[in-house]
Chains A and B, each alone.
Chain A
Amino acid sequence: MATVYKKSALLSDVPLHYCPGCTHGIIHKLVAESLEELDAGGKAVGVAPVGCSVLAYNYFTCDMVEAPHGRAPAIATGLKRALPDGMIFTYQGDGDLAAIGTAETVHAATRGENITVIFVNNAIYGMTGGQMAPTTLPGQVTQTTPYGRDVTTAGFPVRVCEMLSTLSGVAYAERVSVDTVPNIRKAKAAIKKAFETQAAKKGFSIVEVLSTCPTNWGLSPTEALEWLRQNMMPYYPLGVYQDRTANEKGVF
């Protein structure tokens, strides 16, 4: 009988702790498949964040390091400097990457640190129960913006890909979404390209994945996907924000 689908060997056989309808599972799968297709699992070291995906170290079967909140790019930097031929990636949420870890993110990017960042943006702090994130939309209701995010007091959401694309060290930055099958395919291609960018030592690569949080958004999984399309995509347009991979030496 022909095999039409097989779970990636880069994913372990344990139950995931994610909520029903959460898109982390899809994104894990895309990361694992991309590494596997590039035959990079043996030299991969992943860095898990603090946030919903904190337990990612149990889900990927490559070597893993669990980071303090926001510090994953610094840890990935240490790993990469020690293992220049390793495939080093971080997997981070919006609070981890764009709030408490902003400095680590920006400076790893501007150094052209040859690592890959998988950035899962769902516009909310999930693990702590739905507080405002740096990417929470204006007017969006969360536990700590009960009247909706008021930009006059809580400021504006951070557009990470747009911001990082201004930095000379960024070889590749793309924003994707996992709301539909075609978009999932595009997300997979972007993640794989990010790893290829690293393998070719072309500089910092980041893929921002728009993701849902049905539990904390208070929506059903399908409503959440629709909410993502209606609200997040206009503020966070999908697309390639930086691509210096055609240069032979990448960003350098």
Chain B
Amino acid sequence: MSERVLMKGNEAMAEAAIRAGCRHFFGYPITPQTEVAAYMSKKMPKIGGTYLQAESEIAAINMVLGAASAGVRAMTSSSSPGISLKTEGISYIAGSDLPCLIVNVERGGPGLGGIQPAQSDYWQATRALGHGDFHVLVFAPSTVQEVVDLVFLAYDLAEKYRMPALLLSDGLLGQMMEPVSFPDPVEKFAEKPWAANGHQNKRPHNIINSLYLKPDELERTVVERFARYAEIEAAEQRYQEYLCDDADYIIVAFGATSRVSQSAVDTLRAQGIKAGLLRPVTLWPFPKDAIRAHIPHVKSFLSVEMNMGQMVDDVRLAVEGKVPVEFFGRTGGVIPRPSEVVEAVMKVAGGDR
């Protein structure tokens, strides 16, 4: 591990990617992720890597597709409207079973929306990152240190399962500075016998492809992929709990809102209300087992998000109607105040008080 330094989330993410072995970054300028690209443009030429400012988000994600096809650790980063443009390429990457790292430093939407922090791309990240039957791994860090740690994990799991990984950050995490230290650089990489990197006349040709014109053939590849997804759902649900064991009310929140919610939990506990926080670290696979484990003792769950209520769907699917699941959120780039979250829990507690 390196010495602790104070770094912006976006810059720490870029440095982490480099240490994780990324030497091919393709991007397009958009607020509030620009520091990722700026950092890459400064560092990559000095270490023999590629920083390429593409003509569009669409081109950038397809450059990632090309580099990932060759077997290297490739990356692109953007913010919400840019991610919409990338979804075509992400679908092809998923359909071609390629690993890569995609970053969304979320801002408010829909449309051009705003540039302040938001979490309104939850549905897009977990449900609709392109057309077709597929998932991507979705990681939601809540501190700058976790941004760094999850970049390494995202690359490892993307390669292990041969699928794209999305790091879902937001304007708050991207812009803020916190102390961070970096793991040692990755030096050994997984073998990629499937890569289209020139067969040197030593093996049959590799084809990176997502086209299957025969329905039964396409069905078979998709079903095989979903068998892999089932393995991931069993093995890779990640989350963190704060004072959940005896909680009557559990707030479910990820990323920036989990920090606000943690402050709220402290205030609630000081007032004698047994509140806890369950923070999903992976949004896909969603940590539904952890949520289910608390059903016997909680009176209700409260999903706190910077949107109009998106992750709450997953909480409800996990809870299966066994206890109430409520929602509180602010949207449009408004960060909820801890006091608002406290009030929301009070309201849920309602008659019990």
Chain A contacts to B: CB under 8 angstroms: 41-45, 47, 54-55, 57-58, 60-68, 71, 74-83, 86-87, 103-104, 106-107
Asked whether A82 lies within 8 Å of B67 as measured between CB atoms, the reply is: yes
Asked whether A103 lies within 8 Å of B59 as measured between CB atoms, the reply is: yes
Q: Report chain B residues within 8 Å CB of A41.
A: 201
A81 to B56, CA, bound (A): 17
Task: Across the A-B interface, give the 9 residue pairs with the lowest CB-CB distance, nearest first.
Answer: A78-B66, A74-B62, A82-B70, A75-B66, A107-B55, A78-B67, A63-B196, A78-B63, A71-B62
Asked whether B66 lies within 8 Å of A57 as measured between CB atoms, the reply is: no
B211 contact from A47, A66, A104, Cβ within 8 A = A66
Min C-beta distance of B274 to chain A, whole Å? 51
Q: Taking the complex as formed, is B71 at the interface, i.e. its CB lies under 8 A from any CB of chain A?
A: yes
Binary contact track B39-69/A, C-beta < 8 Å → 1, others 0:
0000000000010101110111011111111
A82 to B54, CA, bound (A): 15
Binary contact track B196-224/A, C-beta < 8 Å → 1, others 0:
11111110011111110000000000000
A62 to B207, CA, bound (A): 9
List, sorted by A's number, 19 A–B pairs whose CB atoms are closer than 8 Å. A42-B201, A43-B198, A45-B69, A45-B196, A47-B66, A62-B199, A68-B89, A71-B58, A71-B59, A75-B62, A76-B66, A78-B64, A78-B67, A79-B69, A81-B52, A81-B67, A82-B67, A82-B71, A107-B55
Q: Report chain A residues within 8 Å CB of B59.
A: 71, 74, 77, 103-104, 107
Residue of A nearest to B208 (CB): A65
A44 to B199, CA, bound (A): 8
Asked whether B63 lies within 8 Å of A45 as measured between CB atoms, the reply is: no
Q: When A45-B70, A57-B207, A68-B62 are in contact, do A63 and B197 touch as well, CB less than 8 Å? A: yes
Min C-beta distance of A163 to chain B, whole Å? 15
Q: Taking the complex as formed, is B304 at the interface, i.e. its CB lies under 8 A from any CB of chain A?
A: no
Total inter-chain residue pairs, C-beta < 8 Å: 135
Q: When A63-B205, A65-B209, A103-B55 are in contact, do A78 and B196 touch as well, CB less than 8 Å? A: no
A165 to B187, CA, bound (A): 43
Residue of B nearest to A62 (CB): B205
DSSP class of A's interface residues: helix, strand, loop or mixed?
A: helix
A54 to B64, CA, bound (A): 20
Min C-beta distance of B291 to chain A, whole Å? 37
B66 contact from A42, A77, A107, Cβ within 8 A = A77
A57 to B211, CA, bound (A): 10
Q: Taking the complex as formed, is B156 at the interface, i.e. its CB lies under 8 A from any CB of chain A?
A: no
Asked whether B55 lies within 8 Å of A82 as measured between CB atoms, the reply is: no
Residue of A nearest to B100 (CB): A78
A180 to B285, CA, bound (A): 59
Min C-beta distance of A90 to chain B, whole Å? 10
A74 to B57, CA, bound (A): 11
Asked whether A43 lies within 8 Å of B66 as measured between CB atoms, the reply is: no
A27 to B241, CA, bound (A): 62
A78-B74, A86-B198, A104-B55 known; 6 other A-B pairs, CB under 8 Å?
A43-B200, A66-B210, A76-B66, A78-B67, A79-B67, A106-B55
Chain B contacts to A: CB under 8 angstroms: 24, 26, 50, 52, 54-56, 58-60, 62-72, 74, 88-89, 92, 96, 196-202, 205-211
Min C-beta distance of A99 to chain B, whole Å? 14
Q: When A78-B67, A81-B52 are in contact, do A61 and B205 touch as well, CB less than 8 Å? A: yes
Min C-beta distance of B182 to chain A, whole Å? 24
Min C-beta distance of A89 to chain B, whole Å? 12
A74 contact from B63, B207, B208, Cβ within 8 A = B63
Min C-beta distance of B70 to chain A, whole Å? 4
Q: Report chain B residues within 8 Å CB of A78.
A: 24, 26, 62-70, 74
Asked whether B52 lies within 8 Å of A83 as measured between CB atoms, the reply is: no
A60 to B58, CA, bound (A): 27
Residue of B nearest to A115 (CB): B66
Q: Report chain B residues within 8 Å CB of A75.
A: 62-63, 65-66, 69
A68 to B93, CA, bound (A): 10
Residue of A nearest to B71 (CB): A82
Most buried by B among A44, A61, A83, A107: A83
Q: Report chain A residues within 8 Å CB of B55.
A: 103-104, 106-107
Min C-beta distance of B21 to chain A, whole Å? 13
Q: When A63-B205, A64-B207, A79-B69 are in contact, do A74 and B58 touch as well, CB less than 8 Å? A: yes
A66 to B199, CA, bound (A): 17
Q: Report chain B residues within 8 Å CB of A47.
A: 66
Most buried by B among A62, A78, A79, A106: A78
Q: Report chain A residues within 8 Å CB of B26.
A: 78
Q: Report chain B residues within 8 Å CB of A43.
A: 198, 200
